């Protein structure tokens, strides 16, 4: 935890949203993800360029990048890092609706441990950007109580793992109050924070809470992976009347991408087509998207044509997009960072088997993290998460 925060804090004096190209804020990548390959991914699938076609509409509610053909890229839009995209989305929503407030540890004067809320306290004041003491249970409960009256708090967990302390509030009050009150109260909170395996942060700071929260009835879960969908999902989550848990990833905060200047939101329940293909459907989310795309490079060289879908919506699953893909390719590989037991992949495997069994030519394969606490040593940590080489092997195995 300390390594990342100090690194981020000492990095720059970014006061504007435009990123500074000269200073590469990406930490040296142990898992072989240089910025260059990310650019390739983004441009290769033409996701950002394809989407800029929709700039004709003021508000873009549908941001699935399905159409690969690009009309002339207009060239407008601005480049920024993922945490800036989140900040932009948050700031736009706070400007738009005075009911939106942010609460969390060090979100105000400190600017947020990952700089997502930087500058907001100066702009909106202490009553709308609240520095809480270290008591996740209490401030999550307070956010939910405030939401019952109509406020729209965005509750930040400094690390998703800390939200385990607030599990009671999230499960019992956040998820269930709308139901147990017979519809009288809505809880429009957004609970967000970084999770996932970082760089040797240790077991307790490398948790993936998607698996624990996925059974709670009444909440929605989304995971962002690019600056484009980070901003879109943040805005959609704030506007949603349901409680939404937005999973960010510690290692993705410094991704750079060009996003449109116009206002847009992403659909909370929709999956994103990253790379259309014919041979196999690879379902993934969050950081594993980049591992998959790297593996896709290798696979393409070997002659395979994988279809990569970033499922984005972890609860509920976008079975429409996934189903259409399965009907096309007949093979499914799920690549996730969640634990093997009871993770998102496990639920997704069950859902696909139940609904699309007739369309499958091979069993659904799920690559997940090992069921171990994340070790500190770098090499061991690498082995707990799925690596591109394993993805390539799995695809070859499935496509025999």
Could you give the CA distance from residue 386 to residue 372 in angstroms, rounded to a whole number? Answer: 13
Tell me if 137 contacts another protein by CB under 8 A. Answer: yes
User: For another protein, what does the binding mask look like between residues 348 and 387, x meaning CB under 8 A?
Assistant: ------x---------------------------------
- From the list 60-68, 136-144, 203-211, 331-339, the region that binds another protein by CB under 8 A is 136-144
CB of 179 to another protein, least distance (A): 5
Closer residue to another protein (CB): 80 or 166: 166
Tell me if 127 contacts another protein by CB under 8 A. Answer: yes
Closer residue to another protein (CB): 70 or 355: 355
User: For another protein, what does the binding mask look like between residues 228 and 267, x meaning CB under 8 A?
Assistant: ------------xxx-------------------------
Closer residue to another protein (CB): 35 or 176: 176
Residue with tokens 């702009």: 123
Closer residue to another protein (CB): 55 or 242: 242
Tell me if 111 contacts another protein by CB under 8 A. Answer: no
Closer residue to another protein (CB): 66 or 180: 180
Closer residue to another protein (CB): 216 or 398: 216
CB of 123 to another protein, least distance (A): 17
Look up residue 173 and give its two tokens.
């009050």
Question: Would residue 136 show up in a list of annotated catalytic residues for this protein?
Answer: yes
- From the list 104-112, 182-190, 229-237, 360-368, the region that binds another protein by CB under 8 A is 182-190
Question: Would residue 279 show up in a list of annotated catalytic residues for this protein?
Answer: no
Tell me if 11 contacts another protein by CB under 8 A. Answer: no
Tell me if 168 contacts another protein by CB under 8 A. Answer: yes
Please identify every residue annotated as catalytic: 136, 205
Chain positions contacting another protein, by CB under 8 A: 101, 127, 130, 132-133, 135, 137-151, 168-169, 172-173, 177-186, 217-218, 220, 240-242, 269, 316, 319, 354
């Amino acid at each position: 935890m300390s390594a990342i925060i100090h690194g981020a804090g000492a990095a720059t004096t970014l006061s504007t949203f435009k990123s500074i190209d000269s200073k590469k804020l990406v930490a040296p990548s142990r898992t072989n993800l240089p910025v260059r390959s990310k650019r390739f991914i983004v441009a290769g699938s033409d996701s950002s360029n394809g989407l800029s076609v929709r700039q004709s509409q003021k508000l873009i509610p549908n941001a699935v990048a399905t159409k690969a053909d690009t009309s002339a890229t207009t060239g407008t839009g601005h480049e920024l890092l993922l945490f800036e995209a989140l900040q932009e989305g948050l700031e736009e929503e706070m400007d738009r609706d005075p009911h939106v407030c942010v609460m969390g540890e060090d979100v105000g004067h400190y600017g947020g441990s990952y700089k997502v809320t930087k500058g907001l306290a100066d702009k909106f004041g202490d009553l709308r950007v609240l520095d809480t003491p270290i008591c996740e249970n209490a401030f999550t409960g307070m956010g939910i109580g405030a939401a019952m009256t109509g406020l729209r708090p965005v509750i930040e967990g400094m690390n998703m793992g800390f939200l385990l302390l607030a599990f009671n509030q999230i499960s019992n009050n956040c998820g269930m109050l709308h139901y147990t009150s017979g519809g009288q109260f809505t809880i429009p909170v957004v609970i967000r924070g970084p999770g996932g395996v970082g760089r040797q942060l240790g077991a307790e700071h490398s948790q993936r809470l998607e698996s624990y929260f996925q059974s709670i009835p009444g909440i929605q879960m989304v995971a962002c992976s690019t600056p484009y969908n980070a901003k879109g999902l943040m805005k959609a989550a704030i506007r949603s009347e349901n409680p939404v848990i937005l999973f960010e990833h510690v290692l993705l905060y410094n991704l750079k991408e060009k996003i449109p200047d116009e206002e847009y939101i992403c659909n909370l329940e929709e999956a994103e087509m990253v790379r259309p293909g014919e041979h196999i459907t690879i379902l993934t989310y969050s950081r594993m998207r980049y591992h998959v795309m790297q593996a896709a490079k290798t696979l393409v060289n070997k002659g395979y044509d994988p279809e990569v879908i970033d499922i984005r919506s972890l609860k509920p699953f976008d079975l429409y997009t996934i189903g259409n893909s399965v009907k096309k390719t007949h093979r499914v590989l799920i690549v996730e960072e969640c634990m093997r037991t009871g993770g998102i992949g496990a639920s997704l495997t069950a859902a696909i088997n139940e609904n699309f069994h007739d369309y499958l030519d091979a069993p659904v394969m799920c690559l997940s993290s090992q069921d171990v606490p994340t070790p500190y040593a770098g090499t061991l940590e690498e082995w707990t998460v799925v690596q591109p080489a394993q993805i390539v092997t799995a695809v070859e195995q499935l496509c025999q």
